[in-house]
């Protein structure tokens, strides 16, 4: 329940002279409510008055204020939002004010679909001049919850529809400095380097991005995101992935630490399946792990990797067993 200072001072609608001409309409739960809901009096009264203006289609200033109160009590009620938009259009309200209103309520309701959708509707109407404010807004929400899916969707829409790409890569860098495990930030990074009209595209960015990603991997090899990001940089081009030494090198480096090497092994396994020819050093390191982790000894590197993974990642042992049984013939 929102705990605004006004709660104690709320005057019931029945006592407000400006509403004396309206007869409130109670909720009709049907003759036999199947999932009936009990109500607080304040909420009940507010919604009864809302229903009255909604049914009368009264698109007035007081109706707008009423939707503000109703939203304050239950911001997920999508019908109230619909009606609010109709009223805003009818009254031709300055949408900058509306944007300020959303700023106020969004923080407490940052996972609410209706608020984000309403925000987008307002931003669309305000046009490209709104871009900066929208990026600021999402940044504010992400400062509270850096993985908020709605905020990221909105931010991506803003960039593509209204612009503002200039500082986006820097923003991703900052978020990843705050939390290198933030998968949303990694996803956004990929979004920027592949779609920003200001950067050169994936090809041009690849080398610098590989360096960045390798550093992130080495700092925390158990971090799933940079491993996936690394693969993404080669965009399905397995020959390129196999031939770039930086990829196999990072696997080797992690394996040599003898710690948090599951993702390294899994990438190495994929490289082998794509035709990668491992160095003697790589083979040695893996065989050593094989001896320490498993009972079996196997000359085949890929099979050894699968056996190790079955042991050290038992939750997914069926997956690793399947991989073992489905190695390409040239690897067996």
Q: Which residues contact 85 (CB under 8 A, 6 or more apart)?
A: 118, 121
List own/partner pairs for 280-286 with CB under 8 A and 24 or more apart.
281/252, 282/248, 282/251, 282/252, 282/255, 285/252, 285/255, 285/256, 286/255
- Examine the residue annotation and report whether 111 is marked as an active-site residue of this protein: yes
What is the spatial distance between Cα 268 and Cα 76, in angstroms, rounded to a whole number?
47
Q: Say if residues 195 and 160 touch (Cβ distance below 8 Å).
A: yes
What is the spatial distance between Cα 251 and Cα 270, in angstroms, rounded to a whole number?
11
Q: What are phi and psi of 60, to 5 degrees?
A: -120, 175
Closest approach, Cβ 77 to other proteins, in A, equals 5
Q: What is the 3-state secondary structure (H, E, C) of 61-121?
A: HHHHHHHHHHHHHCCCCHHHHHHHHHHHHHHCCCHHHHHHHHHHHHHHHCCCHHHHHHHHH
Rule CB under 8 A: choose which of 256, 294, 319, 327 binds other proteins.
319
Residue with tokens 């400095």: 177
Examine residue 138 and tell whether it contacts other proteins (CB under 8 A): no
What is the spatial distance between Cα 261 and Cα 253, in angstroms, rounded to a whole number?
10
Examine residue 56 and tell whether it contacts other proteins (CB under 8 A): no
Closest approach, Cβ 34 to other proteins, in A, equals 5
Closest approach, Cβ 279 to other proteins, in A, equals 26
Closest approach, Cβ 150 to other proteins, in A, equals 9
Examine residue 112 and tell whether it contacts other proteins (CB under 8 A): no
In the window 24-43, what residues touch other proteins (CB under 8 A)?
27-40, 43
Q: Which residues contact 53 (CB under 8 A, 6 or more apart)?
A: 22, 60, 62, 63, 66, 83
Examine residue 76 and tell whether it contacts other proteins (CB under 8 A): yes
Rule CB under 8 A: choose which of 19, 101, 157, 165 binds other proteins.
157
Closest approach, Cβ 328 to other proteins, in A, equals 13
Examine residue 187 and tell whether it contacts other proteins (CB under 8 A): yes
| Closer of 64 and 241 to other proteins (Cβ) | 241
Rule CB under 8 A: choose which of 19, 24, 45, 51 binds other proteins.
51
Q: What would the x/- binding string for other proteins be over residues 297 to 316, using CB under 8 A?
A: -----------------xxx
Residues that bind other proteins (CB under 8 A): 1, 27-40, 43, 47, 51, 54-55, 74, 76-79, 82, 85, 113, 117, 120-121, 147, 149, 152-153, 156-157, 181-184, 187-188, 190-191, 194-195, 223-225, 228, 231-232, 235-236, 314-319, 322
């Amino acid at each position: 329940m929102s705990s605004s200072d006004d709660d104690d001072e709320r005057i019931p609608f029945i006592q407000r002279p400006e509403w004396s001409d309206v007869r409130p309409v109670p909720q009709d739960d049907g003759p036999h409510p199947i999932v009936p809901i009990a109500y607080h009096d304040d909420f009940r009264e507010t919604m009864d008055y809302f229903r009255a203006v909604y049914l009368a289609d009264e698109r007035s200033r007081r109706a707008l204020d009423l939707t503000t109160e109703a939203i304050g009590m239950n911001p997920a009620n999508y019908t109230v939002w619909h009606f609010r938009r109709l009223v805003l259009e009818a009254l031709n309200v300055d949408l900058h004010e509306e944007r300020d209103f959303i700023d106020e309520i969004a923080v407490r309701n940052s996972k609410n679909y209706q608020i984000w959708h309403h925000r987008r509707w307002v931003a669309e109407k305000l046009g490209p001049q709104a871009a900066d404010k929208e990026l600021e807004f999402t940044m504010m929400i992400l400062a509270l919850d850096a993985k908020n899916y709605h905020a990221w969707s909105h931010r991506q829409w803003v960039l593509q529809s209204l612009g503002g790409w200039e500082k986006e890569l820097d923003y991703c860098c900052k978020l990843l400095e705050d939390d290198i495990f933030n998968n949303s930030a990694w996803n956004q990074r990929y979004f920027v380097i592949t779609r920003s009209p200001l950067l050169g595209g994936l090809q041009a960015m690849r080398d610098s991005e590989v360096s960045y990603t390798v550093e992130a991997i080495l700092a925390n090899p158990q971090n799933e995101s940079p491993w996936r990001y690394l693969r993404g940089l080669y965009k399905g081009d397995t020959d390129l992935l196999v031939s770039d030494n930086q990829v196999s090198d990072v696997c080797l480096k992690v394996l040599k630490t003898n710690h948090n090497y599951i993702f390294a092994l899994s990438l190495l396994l994929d490289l082998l399946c794509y035709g990668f020819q491992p160095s003697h050093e790589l083979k040695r390191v893996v065989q050593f792990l094989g001896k320490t982790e498993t009972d079996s000894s196997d000359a085949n590197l890929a099979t050894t990797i699968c056996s190790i993974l079955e042991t050290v990642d038992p939750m997914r042992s069926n997956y690793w067993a399947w991989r073992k049984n489905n190695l390409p013939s040239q690897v067996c």
